[in-house]
Structure 1
Amino acid sequence: MNNVLIFILFSHILYSQNQTIENIHLHLEKSEHYFKATKYDSAYSHAKIAYDIANKLRDTKLKPQAALAISKSKIVDADEEFFQYLEEVIEQALHNKNVKLLADGYFVKGKMYYTVKDFGLALPYYIQVDSLSKKYNFDNETTIKAVLDRSEIARTNRTPEGRELAETLLNEALEKAKKENLMFYENLTYLYRADLEGLKGNYAAAKENIDNAFVYFKKEDHVRYLSRIYLLRTVYYNQMKQQDSAEISHKERIAYLIRKDDSEELAGAYIAFGSFHRRNNGDCNKALIEFSNATQIFEKIENKIGEKYLNLKLGIAQCLAELQDFENAYLNYQQAYTIRVELAKKNNNELTRNLETQYQTKNKEREIQLLQEKNNLEVKQKENQLLLFLGLLLIAGLTLLLLYFGYRNKVKTAKKIEELDIFKSNFFATISHELRTPLTLIKSPVQKLKSLMKDKEALPILDLVERNSDRMLALVNQMLDLSKLDKAELKLILKNENLEKYIKNLVAPFAFESKKKTILFKEEYYFKDSLHWFDKDVFDKIISNLLSNAIKYTPENETIAFYCTQNKDELHLKISNSGAKLSETEFKKIFHRFYQTDISEPGVGLGLSIVKELIKQYRGSIKTEYNNHTITFKVKLPLDPAKLKDISIITNTITKSDTIKKQKGKPEDKLFMLIIDDTEDIRFLLKQLFKETFTVLEAKNGKEGYKIAVDEVPDIIVSDVVMPVMDGIEMTKKLKQNEITSFIPIILLTAYPEDEAHIKALKAYADTYESKPFNNEILKAKVHQLIEERKLLRERFSQEIVIKPTNVVLNSVDERFLQKLQIILDKEIANAAFSTEDFAAEIGMSRMQLHRKLKSLTGYSAIDFFKHHRLLLAAQLLEIPKQNIAQVAYTTGFNDANYFAKCFKETFGESPSQYNKKFS
């Protein structure tokens, strides 16, 4: 008996659930029905009911379908809810790898922009639908609708190229519709082709397509499409000069729509018939009768700001004007203008604003035409007065401009003379000023040396003293250098040496001095080759002066950044310091020799002036930027001796050891490792273990380590567990929950027994652990393994447009980051104006944090990441035969087709046109 009761209860629950799912399908079907009937409020209501039921049942298949139906119902009047539900559709489609649902989502978003005639934003989403269709080999109503809308966009260009592209797309749509046996879209394509053939002047072909579509839509009784076909017939008869047939077609259309009780479409038919009487027969009286019929309909319906009502008012105004009833004509023009303004507010896009301006201009011209006989003489007089006034104003302006340039030249000459006098009077003061930099760099290491005399670290300090003592003598010769620079007598001595090693040694004292002043000093290097031709003395003066100037004007707790990269045959330097306090005038005079704003403040000395002159004569360039109290110097110097041949002496100094290094190749750039331990000896041991392969950062507790990890975003973290302030377990949890640091591999060092250590590490989401005392080789192997895994992940991320690599396990934080990244990529990939700052703001990170995270995940910087994915999308589009290269470039966010072609060839090894031909 109990078993029977359980069976009945279970059957009842199952039946109820099936009934609920059936209700979802029923509401979705009703929503689609009302959507096709353009009853969007009813479509929304049923879609919302379906969504709420699916959400309650947690049905992951029907819930996105209901969300899609909600978004579709709001296409015409998109609001925040439209984007909210559509974003849910796209996220679920990406998560479930449902490419058909993803195509539906992209189409709805494109359709929203298409509806408001923002074709530039609609086109990329339609192309993504087509790309998914071809990549995953499927076709359905969505893919066909996307192709049809693309054909309409091409047709609206009204150029031979646009019509040719529209014809190609319509042929493609027709082929897809026949293949999928979709009769509605097959005949809709005939309707579009009829319109296109008419534009091309192929009236016989237009008539054939009209007849094909007419048979189907009459049989299926599609009111709106059949009404459009009647209208196309009248256009055809007009072009063929068959006025009687055109009039019959108008009447047939009106009679049909009266039977179907479609008031708005019927009003449009009356307006078209009225326009026919006015334009073709010149009979405004008959036209006004038809316009009166349309007016009576509009008085019964609420929609009085649509395109049809606008055309009605314009038609009435034109007829009244031709019948000499100028007063009522003017009133109807005013009403038409008001409607046009309301339409502009409703659409709110650039195209609508342009149309409004054109319409307003035509309206003004019509008003002037109606009143021309009354005020023609007055307008003429005003025009003459205006021309006379503008002529006098132009003469006065030219006179003032000549006087201004003459005065400015005199002021500039006077200032030049004054600067020369100041330079002479400050000659010895300048030399004294420039000696302060090496003296400061000597004083700090000597002070440090006093506490380290018995320590092995004393030797590098003594080396610093020796190098800076040598620099003191070199600075005394700066005045002689200035003399040579002024006379353009600079002679370079080029040597082929290890430039990266030389610059690192040169920068080391400044990094040490920054640390003494509590200034954060960041440095980064990238060199493809180790040996380069350069003049040591010139590079020394340029880099030393820029860094010493940065240290001088950087307050405590601010930052100095030094970036040095090799770009082909050029050396790029970027030196920036925060905390600068310069006015616009001071910034403009930053290269003036020993410029001072106040006697109590230090000047910039000869250093920057020498830097500018040296770079100029070295055939390089220097640019300065000043934003948010951060001043940045960007320097480019040639490394090709051929460019400096006429001003240089080349000395070959390659040694045997140098040759061996070159044969071995340049080691990869060091990665960043963060070591966190409250015991200094442990930190020292780990630093010695990894210093050859990593740039090591240190922290003495979890709180300090967390801050450094968020600020610097290292490539790997090795941390103790038991530490004061914050332990390693808590720190690891916080890092793994932070989007900025969630991807960083973490190794925990612990003194716990192995099983207990393993459990604690897993609970904290650490990547691995190592028990103390640890084996050096095992720890190094684990570090190497984690880094290699990240490299594999980076390779997988860089291959697909949809950012979700297969066979990779990610935590929820990384999943959220990748979803945000994909959404931003989908949204902005066609936006050429999307900058790195916009990218960082959108993702919610600083530029440096975003750069480090993307670099680690994908191998690309923020800028290169977008460019890479744009090129991947371009390659997919070019797999479609006979693509317009310029259109593909603009669609994928490139403003310059030539630059696009250059980037494409660098990435894929062949030009876009060559790539496209392979698929023709």
Structure 2
Amino acid sequence: MAENTANEIKSPEHLSTVYNLKHDYYLREGNYQLALDNYKQHRALQDSVKGIMEASNYMDIRLGHEQNKSSLRMRQIEANIKMEQQKKRLITLLARAIFIVSAIIIALLCYGYHLRKRSNKILKKMERTRSDFFTNITHELRTPLTVIQVLNRQMQQKKDLTDKEKTAFRAAIDRQSNNLLTLVNQLLDVAKLKRGSEEPQWKQGDVVGFLQMAAETFRFYASEKEVALMFYSDLDVIEMDFIPSYIDKIVSNLLSNAIKHTDAGGKIDFVVTHEQCSNTISICINDTGEGIPQKDLKYIFDFFYQSQETKNHSGTGIGLAFTKMMVLKMKGKIEVESELGKGSIFTVTLPLRNKKASHILPLNEDERSFSALSANNEIFTESYKETKDMDNEVSTVNPLVLIVEDNRDIALYIKSLLMYKYNIITARNGKEGLEEAERCIPDLVITDLMMPLKDGYQLVSEMKQNRLLNHIPIIMITAKATDVDRIKSLSYGVEAFIQKPFQEQELLIRIENIFENRRILKERYMNTITRSNSENKLDNDANLEFLQIITSIIHSEINNPELNSSYLADKMAMSISQLSRKINGITGYSTISYVLKLKLNKAKKMLADESILISEVSDACGFYDASYFSRIFKKEFGVSPSHYQKMPTLIS
């Protein structure tokens, strides 16, 4: 049974043991033959097992050797892999280092490039600013010098000047001299303030009264431009340590700028506030002017800086920078808020007490002279005469003449010939001339032919096609005096063609003739309007067509007491001043006077019917008060409404 089991499991060792046991058994039984056979099988199996064991040992040794070789190879491979990994890591680190260094180098190069570009931009800006400053300062200096020179030459050459003319010429020279002196003094003040070479004179006194005097000094000039200037203070008296000359110039610069950049009908609030918590005073000047672009606000207090939006205003670019310097000298601060088209707010904050001043004297009444303000106002007045934007009550004493000339000397010479008989505005090219014409609606335009941006032909053509400007007569002055140019100019619609150089009397006579012809034409227009029914079509004339439109609007609202220039300007898509200048240019009346003229003419027609009450006529024609209507009617027609109603046929 054991033999069968050994055979089943195929175990030579167990089978060899079985045969050895059987050998021992048959040997004890005496069966030597079976004992021998089993012994042989035992030995054979034992040798087989031994061979197998030896083979197994050999295989074990071989496998162990191979395993050792494999282990050694694996270790070598691992070492190689590790070395490769280290190489790759080193290469990666090196690549990263190279990349980082390259990035740093590129960044430095880019930074250097941008820095150089920025530096070049700053240098160019500084150069442009410096150039603009010298250009502006040259213009500011040259203008009064040229006017002084021209007027002085005329006084020397013209022996027949009247005492009145001589007085006017001397007054102009004196005014221009003061302008020149003020500008030079301002430049010197800036230099002194920068060097700190002059010790400021601190005084103690009522700053509210001091500032209120400043507001009053400027109030006349603001009213001349039809700008409302209002002064407010939360306290009647504020005792303060301040430098009068600095406050003088600060207020002068801020108020003159506010008035210069505020159109007719605008408002300027001058507000003084005592801040108890910080023991400071706040001076706020708030205007409804043209405003400052946001991009310019951070540069507005830089020396020589001028906004591109306001380049048409004359100036040196030092006023606000000088103002900031003076504010800082008094340990204060100045801030600005502005929105283009809505206005600006300049706020100056100053401490009430100056701790560092060793000795502060009381403010004397004599020190409230506002010399800088007065001088600055003379500059402002002169500038304002050139840019005056007349509103609904247009002055008819002195017609407004626009001189469009790129040669400043010639423009100044023409201006010197006309400035005492006419209000003058100037433009340096056709583009600027068209803008000024639309803004001011002049009574006459004198233009050169050869100009940058737009020449004289383009200017004349665009004016004649513009409903706002087509009534304005134009004189062409040019060095190009061929027959072709003369005929072409006349075909464009100019009233007169004058060759350079020209005799001043020729220009003056031409202007007088044009205005006389215009006066006759205005009378014809008014007769046509007042004698025609507003519904009838008039002659094919652009000016009459314009009057027909505005007259129809007035007649439709004639019983409205609130009918005013603003309403009519909105209806005609014009500004109040543009409408007033347009109506004045065609009829010789301001907007309000023209409306009143139409109301009175309608009243005169209604009074022809004796059954209508005068109060009914007054209401129908838009008058608040019948007694006021009677006074106006009598002033216009020489008789009261009641007398006229009794004898209408006797009144022309």
- Bin for the TM-score computed over the shorter chain: 0.3 to 0.5
Q: Which has the higher helix share?
A: 1
Normalising to structure 2: TM-score of the pair?
0.45
Normalising to structure 1: TM-score of the pair?
0.33
Query: Quick one: higher RCO (CA 8 Å, sep 6+), 1 or 2?
Result: 2
